[in-house]
């Protein structure tokens, strides 16, 4: 059987992404054919900075643009090239030259500096495909989907709208199947029946309506947030939906920091990613961990099966 072909967007070249990709190349090449979205000049420059020899079997798909890599620095060119590498990987998926895309970490400030208005990969995919992409992070033990992502905390409560939340639940069902899903409330004690906030009323209404449309009780909640990730509660659930970024990702990273990944659901292409940032503080120092990346590749392959 032919191995799946997986596009790898290399992320911000001032960070750890390219080190991770080269470290893990031999291992992932056993299960797929990685196609790196980068040009020869930038790849050779990164290898020289890392003091490594490039593998003989490395396959690249040319992404235009030459600049000087500045390890650990936030730069316009680093941001722009990471975006171009990412979008090149998306187009490889669209043209069926590859089966899936795995993305290395970008720096959001560098994207902003380069004139990009997207807040990250998922936001860019959402606009490009005109689809409500769902950001889900985790590992085999547990996955957490985010209803709101990269917005200020002050805007979360007003973003919890019944119709949008109901559609989010239905799209999530289409992506994961019939597994039970715990939906977190927004407020302490899940609002205490309106004493500590009334957002849970909208969450409950959306849960009830989505379950009715599906014909079974898939979504459960709103669950009190401070008990949702306790060992006893997690015995019964693999999937969770958090109302905002840190509500879901703080406990996930406390439990599964090294092995968790990022998956974009509800899109016409398969995209997974590492669940960590550019780690500028250790860039080109030989310290980067490959586990999240290897898991992201394995997850992408599983979706192509």
pLDDT in tens, the chain (305 residues): 689 999 999 999 999 999 999 999 999 999 999 999 999 999 999 999 999 999 999 999 999 999 999 999 999 999 999 999 999 999 999 999 999 999 999 999 999 999 999 989 999 999 999 999 999 999 989 999 999 998 999 999 999 999 999 999 999 999 999 999 999 999 999 888 888 888 999 999 999 999 999 999 999 999 999 999 999 999 999 999 999 999 999 999 999 988 899 999 999 999 999 989 999 999 999 999 999 999 999 999 998 87
Q: How far apart are CA 100 and CA 296, in angstroms?
A: 11
In a shared domain, residues 244 and 172? yes
Torsion, CA 96, CA 125, CA 277, CA 103, rounded to 10:
0
Q: What is residue 145's three-state secondary structure?
A: strand
With b meaning 16 or more CB within 10 Å and e meaning fewer, what string describes 263-273?
A: bbbbbebbbbb
Strand partners, 7: 35, 101
Q: How far apart are CA 150 and CA 301, in angstroms?
A: 27
Q: Which domain holds residue 226?
A: 134-266
**What pLDDT score does 194 carry?**
82
In a shared domain, residues 290 and 246? no
Q: How far apart are CA 20 and CA 297, in angstroms?
A: 12
Query: Which CATH number belongs to the domain containing residue 150 in this structure?
Result: 3.40.718.10
In a shared domain, residues 156 and 280? no
Regarding pTM above 0.75, the answer is yes
In a shared domain, residues 5 and 79? yes
Q: How far apart are CA 283 and CA 144, in angstroms?
A: 28
Q: How far apart are CA 80 and CA 11, in angstroms?
A: 10
In a shared domain, residues 237 and 285? no
Q: How far apart are CA 194 and CA 203, in angstroms?
A: 12
**What pLDDT score does 1 carry?**
63
Query: Are the beta carbons of 6 and 100 closer than 8 angstroms?
Result: yes
In a shared domain, residues 196 and 217? yes
Specify the DSSP element, H or E, that contains 11. none
Contacts of 57 (CB under 8 A, 6+ apart): 29
Number of domains forming the structure of the chain: 2
């Amino acid at each position: 059987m032919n191995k799946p072909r997986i596009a790898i967007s290399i992320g911000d070249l001032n960070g750890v992404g390219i080190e991770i990709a080269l470290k893990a190349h031999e291992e992932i090449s056993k299960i797929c054919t990685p196609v790196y979205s980068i040009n020869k000049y930038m790849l050779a420059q990164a290898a020289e900075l890392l003091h490594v020899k490039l593998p003989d079997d490395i396959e690249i798909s040319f992404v235009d643009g030459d600049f000087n890599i500045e390890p650990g620095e936030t730069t316009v060119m680093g941001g722009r090239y990471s975006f171009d590498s990412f979008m090149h990987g998306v187009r490889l998926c669209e043209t069926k030259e590859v089966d899936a895309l795995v993305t290395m970490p970008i720096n959001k400030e560098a994207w902003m500096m380069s004139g990009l208005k997207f807040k990250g990969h998922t936001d860019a995919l959402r606009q490009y495909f005109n689809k409500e992409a769902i950001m889900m992070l985790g590992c085999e033990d547990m996955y957490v989907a985010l209803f709101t992502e990269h917005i200020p905390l002050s805007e979360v409560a007003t973003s919890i709208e019944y119709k949008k939340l109901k559609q989010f639940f239905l799209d999530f069902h289409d992506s994961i199947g019939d597994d039970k899903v715990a939906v977190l409330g927004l407020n302490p004690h899940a609002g205490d029946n309106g004493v500590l906030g009334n957002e849970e009323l909208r969450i409950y209404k959306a849960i009830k309506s989505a379950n009715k449309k599906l014909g079974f009780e898939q979504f459960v909640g709103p669950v009190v947030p401070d008990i949702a990730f306790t060992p006893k509660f997690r015995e019964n659930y693999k999937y969770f939906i958090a109302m905002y970024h840190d509500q879901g990702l703080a406990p996930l990273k406390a439990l599964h920091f090294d092995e968790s990944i990022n998956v974009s659901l509800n899109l016409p292409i398969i995209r997974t990613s590492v669940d960590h940032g550019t780690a500028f503080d250790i860039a080109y120092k030989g310290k980067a961990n490959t586990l999240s990346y290897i898991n992201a590749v394995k997850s992408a392959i599983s979706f192509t099966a």
